[in-house]
């Protein structure tokens, strides 16, 4: 086999591998969208799930759902690794929006940030309820939570704004978007450090500390109730809180496990530029590793609904309420809701 033919064969194999990566991540986006949509539907549909914690979980599920949807469209139409369907808007405005919102991954970054911050808000709400219960009614009001959620979405958009200006519509008719451009070589380094710090390192440290404090507090409360031989209702309340915190701790653990590889690669190789002090960052091996880390970080939005199903007892009951075929359409659901809530 000639050297030219061998090179062509290698390039074909690499292209096929890229297509597989894009297909898997696009499929991942579909499953994640449907799973988080189910979470929103169940919590909003079932009355005994209408609590502050669950409303915040709905907000988290919305962020994950939109992230999965943007991931699907990005890897379907605009990924730099491959394009499963070649469909670029013909109008100037359409091409500009396509390049700045989809190809640049700016929307993906918005929902990544929102996912991390929404989990922080869920953690904050549970932290106040467990560690400072006497202050809960005063500090955790519906108005304050709405304001906090609005601010975190605004911050998520703000941190993703730089990506809008890295890619624009290309003047070349054969090319949809321009290459990534920066006014200053230090800008991508600063952007990478800021994103990793504010969307990964700081949230993980704060949430880990909060869950540690909550676990210690719940353990102390359980021991005190056992010594006092308290009523079953008080013990059940502590057990229910322990289950919710256990579930949320697993959600945080999944985020740490699945986000860490990608964030390490961001710091080491100064993503999204190809310049790095490490030669490994420009190699084909890193290209495949990058595909794996991308798969893992998107997987986090897919596994959250699965964690709720496996570890959140009330959510499982809510699923049974929603999908039980024996419910009476006009009156049975209220009685079932009440029965489920008492269990």
Task: Look up the pTM and report it.
Answer: 0.83
**Got the DSSP string for 232-262?**
HHHHHHHHHHHHHHHHHHHHHHHHHHHHHHH
Report the C-alpha gap between 84 and 301 in whole angstroms. Answer: 22
Tokens 């860490």, located at residue: 260
Report pLDDT for 5.
38
Report pLDDT for 268.
77
Report pLDDT for 240.
80
Report the C-alpha gap between 50 and 56 in whole angstroms. Answer: 10
Dihedral of the alpha carbons of 214, 220, 223, 228, in degrees to the nearest 10: -110
Report pLDDT for 190.
84
CA distances from 7 to 19, 81, 296 (A): 18, 19, 30
Total domains, the chain: 1
CA distances from 25 to 65, 76, 127, 192, 251 (A): 14, 9, 34, 23, 21
What radius of gyration do the chain's Cα atoms show?
Answer: 23
Report pLDDT for 4.
38
Report the C-alpha gap between 100 and 106 in whole angstroms. Answer: 7
Taking Cα atoms as reference points, which of 246, 329, 314, 289 lies closest to residue 49? 314
| C-beta separation of 152 from 118 below 8 A | yes
| CATH classification at residue 292 | 1.20.1070.10
Per-residue pLDDT of the chain (343 residues; tens, 9 = 90+): 443 333 333 344 445 556 777 788 888 999 999 999 999 999 998 888 999 999 999 999 999 999 999 988 888 877 766 666 677 777 778 888 888 888 888 899 999 999 999 999 999 999 999 999 889 989 999 999 999 999 999 999 999 998 888 888 777 766 777 777 776 777 778 888 888 999 999 999 999 999 999 989 888 887 777 666 656 666 677 778 888 888 899 999 999 999 999 888 888 776 555 455 556 676 777 777 888 888 899 999 999 999 988 888 888 888 888 877 445 454 444 444 544 444 4
Buried b or exposed e, range 47-83, using 16+ CB within 10 angstroms: ebbeebbbbbbbbbbbbbbbbbbbbbbbbbbbbebeb
Report pLDDT for 342.
46
Tokens 């013909």, located at residue: 90
Report pLDDT for 79.
74
Buried b or exposed e, range 179-196, using 16+ CB within 10 angstroms: eeeeeeeeebeebbeebb
Report the C-alpha gap between 316 and 312 in whole angstroms. Answer: 7
| Class of residue 309 by CB neighbours under 10 A (exposed 0-12, middle 13-18, buried 19+) | middle
| C-beta separation of 30 from 72 below 8 A | yes
Report the C-alpha gap between 82 and 312 in whole angstroms. Answer: 38
Report pLDDT for 292.
86
Beta-carbon count within 10 A of 174 CB: 5
> Which structural domain range is residue 105 located in?
3-342
């Amino acid at each position: 086999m000639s050297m030219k033919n061998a090179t062509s064969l290698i390039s074909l194999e690499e292209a096929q591998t890229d297509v597989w990566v894009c297909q898997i991540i696009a499929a991942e986006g579909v499953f994640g969208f449907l799973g988080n949509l189910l979470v929103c539907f169940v919590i909003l549909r079932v009355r005994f799930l209408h609590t502050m914690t669950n409303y915040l979980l709905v907000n988290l599920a919305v962020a994950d759902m939109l992230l999965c949807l943007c991931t699907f469209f990005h890897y379907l139409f605009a990924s730099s690794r491959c394009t499963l369907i070649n469909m670029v808007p013909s109008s100037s405005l359409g091409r500009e929006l396509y390049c700045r919102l989809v190809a640049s991954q700016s929307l993906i970054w918005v929902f990544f940030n929102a996912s991390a911050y929404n989990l922080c808000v869920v953690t904050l709400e549970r932290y106040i309820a467990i560690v400072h219960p006497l202050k809960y009614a005063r500090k955790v009001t519906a108005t304050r939570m709405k304001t906090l959620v609005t601010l975190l979405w605004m911050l998520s958009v703000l941190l993703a704004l730089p990506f809008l200006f890295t890619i624009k519509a290309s003047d070349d008719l054969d090319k949809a978007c321009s290459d990534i451009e920066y006014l200053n070589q230090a800008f991508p380094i600063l952007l990478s450090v800021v994103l990793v710090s504010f969307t990964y390192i700081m949230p993980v440290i704060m949430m880990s500390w909060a869950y540690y404090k909550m676990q210690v507090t719940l353990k102390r409360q359980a021991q005190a109730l056992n010594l006092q031989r308290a009523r079953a209702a008080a013990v059940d309340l502590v057990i229910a809180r322990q289950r919710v915190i256990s579930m949320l701790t697993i959600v945080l653990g999944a985020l740490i496990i699945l986000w860490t590889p990608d964030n390490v690669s961001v710091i080491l190789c100064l993503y999204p530029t190809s310049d790095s002090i490490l030669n490994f960052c420009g190699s084909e091996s890193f290209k495949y590793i990058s595909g794996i880390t991308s798969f893992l970080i998107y997987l986090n939005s897919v596994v959250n609904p699965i964690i709720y199903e496996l570890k959140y007892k009330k959510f499982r009951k809510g699923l049974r309420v929603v999908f039980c075929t024996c419910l009476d359409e006009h009156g049975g659901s209220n009685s079932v809701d009440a029965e489920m809530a008492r269990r």
